[in-house]
């Protein structure tokens, strides 16, 4: 999609202004029902940026692959002068004073931002039902969720309201909504992409990544946003880690794909999802790949490790959302005559934060409290290392590991929101990549029929640390044909 649009703009077959206008028209037509966008930027401002690109083309100048092509940005990522609400009442009026590191890179390449997309509040959730500004609905069935937390970005791409978008992934928040919405979602190795200017949820887990209509598009975006950022000391130089686009051949000959039996025997795995992913594995074998059965003995502890660690990190990161530095201040609160600073904290957080955010703060504060730190957070860190060691052993034998992205297709709105544990279990297949800090991608695998409607099913590939490009190449080879 991105290459085709680029070529058409460069050849003068279509203008950037026409492309941007078309996507804006789609947003106006569709988003009343879907609610993928929290903020659509000024139309004239967008079209003026597009006209500047068109003028460059008329002058015979070369433009970059992303130049003049519109996109959507998850609303935890700062764009200078625009609101970053994190889908929370607490941040409803916060205007970003700077660009996030990824936005700086995209601006340098000439990408055009259509607006900011909806999410679970502060990226905490798996359905985008936790947004303070309404649920994002699945474009394939408006009675179902779009997934989370990057549900707005995935729905925007699936509904052709943007050709691509950025999301963030802490435990599957790019990959799971991409699976539910039938698009491609990629999370690179931890440290490949800067998190500077992105509101943190769990600092040792969060990653920014692309949601797109094809693996090739995801690779183009990833190549642009990956690399060292001095303001994020977890990032690395991308020399040798990110390959050239010409290397994305999709040849599966000789590729070793790891098959974990436990993934496909898990209680709660939907029968259709299992059959669809297993069928795609057989197709990969026919295309020249070798399927190798491997074991991940500590996989069963991934979800517990993840939720212990991320709630602890949430409680720390959310301390700044106190009504003083960020959030509702006393003047915005009813009965604003507070007797103490603590009163302001209590009132602003009680009124400004949703139930899931409060739940995670409470859980994390408990896990970090005196007498419990060693029993919970410290032990979870130790188990994280065991899971990483399992992955190291596995990647000696295989190039990637295959799994369903989600145990089920998109579930109905309201089905799990009152049962947090059931919602957390939706992350069962995705969290391992974040615990292990490895790259992972979800690609469309097929369709499952529910209530007379066809719903997308995604499959997930997990790769070795820093083998992001190899993983994209394998995903390209396993991608469904058009």
DSSP secondary structure code for residue 480 in this structure: P
Note whether 349 and 325 are within 8 A (CB): no
Q: Give DSSP secondary structure letters for 343-386.
A: HHHHHHHHHHS-HHHHHHHHHHHHHHSTTTTIIIIIHHHHHHHH
Q: Tokens representing 217? A: 């598009």
Both structure tokens of 8: 């058409």
Q: Has 204 been annotated as catalytic?
A: no
- DSSP one-letter code for 431: H
Question: Does residue 74 carry a catalytic annotation?
Answer: yes
Element (H, E) at 429: none
Task: Check 149, 178, 315, 442 and give the catalytic one.
Answer: 149
Burial of 454 (0-12, 13-18, 19+ CB in 10 A): middle
Q: Are 207 and 169 in contact (CB under 8 A)?
A: yes
Is 223 catalytic? The answer is no
- Find, among 171, 182, 164, the residue nearest to 123 by Cα: 171
Rounded to 10°, the helix 215-225/2-11 angle is 80
List CB contacts of 369: < 8 A, sequence separation 6 or more: none
Under 8 Å between Cβ of 184 and 195:
no
Question: Quick check: 79 and 116 in contact, CB under 8 A?
Answer: yes
Output the DSSP codes for 255-314: -EEEEEHHHHS-TT--HHHHHHHHHHHHHHHHTT-EEEEE--TTGGGHHHHHHHHHHHHH
Rounded CA separation 84/77 (Å): 7
- Which of 74, 89, 137, 347 is an active site residue? 74
Tell me if residue 99 falls in helix, strand or coil.
coil
Backbone angles phi, psi at 230, to 5 degrees: -60, -20
182: tokens are 């039938």
Q: Give, for 432, the enclosing helix (H) or strand (E).
A: helix 431-436
3-class secondary-structure state, position 398: coil
Q: Which of 16, 127, 150, 173 is catalytic?
A: 173
Residue 282's DSSP bridge partners are none
Q: Is the dihedral of CA 272, 278, 280, 282 positive or negative?
A: negative
**Residues involved in catalysis:** 74, 149, 173
């Amino acid at each position: 999609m991105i290459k085709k649009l680029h070529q058409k703009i460069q050849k003068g077959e279509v203008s950037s202004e026409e492309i941007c206008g078309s996507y804006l028209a789609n947003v106006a037509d569709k988003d009343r029902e879907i609610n993928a966008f929290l903020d659509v930027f000024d139309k004239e401002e967008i079209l003026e940026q597009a006209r500047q690109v068109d003028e460059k083309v008329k002058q015979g100048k070369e433009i970059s692959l992303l130049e003049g092509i519109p996109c959507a940005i998850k609303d935890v990522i700062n764009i200078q002068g625009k609101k970053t609400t994190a889908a929370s009442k607490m941040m409803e009026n916060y205007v970003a004073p700077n660009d996030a590191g990824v936005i700086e890179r995209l601006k340098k390449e000439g990408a055009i931002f259509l607006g900011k997309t909806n999410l679970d509040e502060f990226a905490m959730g798996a359905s985008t039902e936790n947004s303070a500004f309404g649920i994002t609905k699945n474009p394939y069935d408006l009675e179902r969720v779009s997934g989370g937390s990057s549900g707005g970005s995935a729905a925007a791409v699936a509904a052709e309201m943007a050709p691509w978008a950025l999301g963030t992934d802490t435990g599957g928040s790019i990959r799971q909504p991409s699976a539910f919405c039938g698009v491609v979602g990629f999370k690179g190795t931890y440290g490949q992409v800067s998190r500077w200017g992105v509101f943190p949820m769990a600092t040792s887990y969060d990653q920014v990544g692309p949601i797109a209509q094809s693996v090739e598009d995801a690779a183009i975006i990833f190549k642009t946003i990956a690399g060292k950022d001095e303001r994020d000391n977890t990032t690395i130089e991308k020399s040798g880690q990110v390959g050239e686009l010409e290397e994305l051949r999709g040849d599966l000959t000789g590729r070793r794909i790891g098959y974990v039996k436990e993934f496909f025997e898990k209680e709660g795995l939907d029968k259709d999802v299992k059959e669809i992913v297993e069928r795609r594995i057989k197709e990969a074998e026919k295309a020249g790949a070798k399927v190798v059965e491997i074991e991940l003995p500590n996989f069963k502890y991934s979800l517990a490790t993840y939720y212990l660690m991320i709630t602890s990190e949430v409680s720390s990161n959310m301390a700044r959302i106190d009504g003083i530095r960020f959030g509702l201040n006393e003047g915005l609160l009813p009965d604003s005559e507070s007797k103490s600073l603590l009163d302001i904290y209590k009132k602003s957080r009680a009124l400004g934060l949703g139930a899931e955010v409060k739940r995670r703060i409470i859980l994390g504060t408990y896990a970090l409290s005196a007498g419990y730190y060693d029993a919970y957070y410290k032990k979870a860190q130790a188990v994280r290392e065991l899971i990483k060691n399992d992955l190291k052993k596995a990647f000696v034998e295989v190039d990637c590991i295959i799994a369903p992205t989600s145990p089920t297709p998109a579930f109905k709105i309201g089905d799990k929101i009152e049962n947090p544990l059931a919602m957390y279990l939706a992350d069962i297949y995705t969290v391992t990549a974040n615990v292990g800090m490895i790259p992972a991608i979800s690609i469309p695998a097929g369709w499952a029929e529910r209530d007379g409607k066809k719903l997308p099913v995604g499959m997930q590939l997990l790769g070795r640390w820093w083998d992001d490009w190899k993983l994209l190449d394998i995903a390209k080879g396993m991608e469904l044909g058009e």
